[in-house]
A and B are shown apart, each in its own frame.
Chain A
Amino acid sequence: MIYNIPYLAVVALVLIGLYALLFKRNLIKMVIGVTLIESGVNLFLITLGYRENSIAPIYTGSPGGIMSLPVPQALTLTSIVIGVAVLALMLSLVIHIYRHYGTLDVRKIRRLKE
Chain B
Amino acid sequence: MMSKRTILAVTFFAIVALFLCFSALMMHPFGEPESPEMDESIIANAQEETGANNAVTSVVFDYRGFDTLGEATILFTAVAGVILVFRRLKK
Contact = CB atoms under 8 A, between A and B. Distances in A.
A40 to B, nearest CB: 9
A50 to B, nearest CB: 5
B12 A4 contact: no
Task: Give the interface size bracket for B toward A.
Answer: 35 or more
B81 A8 contact: no
Per DSSP, chain A at the interface is helix
Nearest to A73: B56
Contacts of B17: 11, 15
B56 A89 contact: no
Contact of A6 (B16, B30, B74): B30
Interface in A30-56: 47-52, 56
B67 interface: yes
Interface residues of A, number: 45
Nearest to B29: A3
A86 B24 CA distance: 27
A91 to B, nearest CB: 9
A85 interface: yes
Contacts of A71: 38-39, 42, 59, 64
Contacts of B25: 1, 4, 7-8
A52 B31 contact: yes
| 9 nearest A-B residue pairs (beta carbon) | A85-B78, A57-B55, A7-B24, A69-B39, A3-B29, A52-B31, A74-B59, A70-B55, A59-B53
Given A6-B30, A58-B53, 14 more contacts: A7-B27, A11-B21, A19-B13, A22-B12, A23-B6, A23-B9, A58-B56, A70-B59, A74-B56, A74-B64, A81-B74, A84-B75, A92-B82, A92-B86
